[in-house]
Structure 1
Amino acid sequence: MTHPSPASPVPVERPVPPADVVLPCLDEAAALPWVLARIPAGWRAIVVDNGSTDGSADIARALGATVVHEPRRGFGAACHAGLAAADADVVCFCDCDASLDPGLLVPFVREVAADRADLVLGRRRPRRRGAWPPHARAGNLALSLMLRRRTGLTLRDLGPLRAARRADLLSLALTDRRSGYPLQMVVRAADADWRIEERDVPYLPRVGASKVTGTWRGTWQAVRDMRRVLAEPPLATGPRGPRKEAAR
């Protein structure tokens, strides 16, 4: 007599930890519906309007996002205003141009919430021709090499998709309000001995024209901003544990 083999256990889907997603926005009316439709259930989208003239703020509000107005122009100014407005334990950042799906942040948040990483970054992997122009790739490569010399980190991208604990991010006392903000976050996290991970994410062509890396001139202006960040001396030294515990 044969016995049926036991049924395979049905995997239990773990609940997604709550998070706030900061979306810096400057004239992204065409992309907002796509982006906001992909915010995971239970998460809050914080759209930081940085002076849009195309009705982006009204569209975001109508789609259920929290809208924050930041009159100071600059990518860093918008990101930091969103961080200040966030109240979830874990805060994410994502571009608002439909080049990245915010749903990809779920495993990032799981890693941070489970205390397996302090900062998780997305390494952009282009899925279509033209998603990542050559001048933007060149600028990113140059910055990655400079970052390695400054911190010892071997990162292949300094992309905008990322997640970390809100209290830890505030403890970094970020000051850059231009294009150097994402890099300053990584540099100061490395100086504080954070556990930094990098995950591959698909990268799509953005909707509309880029305000920063759409041209060689814009790209190298961003590189100059970031070189200033790399020239800054470390704020503090010490083991990761005590500093992070004090910040929480």
Structure 2
Amino acid sequence: MTTPDKDTVLDRVLRILSAFDARRPQLSVAELSRLTTIPLASAYRLVGQLAQEDILARYPDGSIGLGMRLWELAARSSPAVSLRTAAMPFLDDVQSIFRQHTQLSVLDDLEVLVVERLSSRNSVVNQATVATRMPIHTVSMGLAQLAFQPDHVVEEYFAMYPAARDMTYSTTGSITNTLAKIRRDGFVMLEGMLDDGTTGAAVPVFDKPSGRHRIAIAAISVVIPNEFEQRSAVIPVLMAASRGLTRALQPVTKTE
């Protein structure tokens, strides 16, 4: 955390941009000032400068939101864009079969970041929207990736979220047992992680098709009703999609 005497303009800009999320797509300058602990006069000045560059947008009611130029800049070169482009054929295939929620996610700063979500009109409730961040241990798509990280990454995560060490799951027990089971099975399927009546199933996407010490670089997951008629087909379909995406990423995977 930046101390007040070292609070740079860049620090403040990043705090302003980070204040917006799915629950707060628009904020007043006063709200931004409060949420970011930036003095109101400075918040007005920074918001004005960012709005001039279309990094922020001003709405008729005076509220502020993220501007289109921010999306444009991110869309040009973000690694997530390349991953999403490669994944879309496989996500489309999964979604066409189950017609619920199909998601692509990555780990970023020891959090789950949802990169893409495909949904159908009559699908079950799902809190994970695109650009949503969540603690890894609270969702199946996070556990599927954490299980295939180096030991030091797992320890860093537990250091950041000490309560995660005590997490238990209804069908797999402790988080340690759950991660071990995921490593053995290659997938995770857990009920009621975020919403009652739903099941989250996820499989990792790897940095290489085979061999020891593979690392998960993403996850493909679905959210389905607990009583889903096609439940037995979920894991085979997800694993086929994962293998396909892992292979598709190989031409652009950096090698030492």
TM range (shorter): under 0.3
Greater Cα radius of gyration, structure 1 or 2 = 2
Higher relative contact order (CA 8 A, sep 6+): 1
Q: Determine which structure has the larger strand proportion and give its number.
A: 2
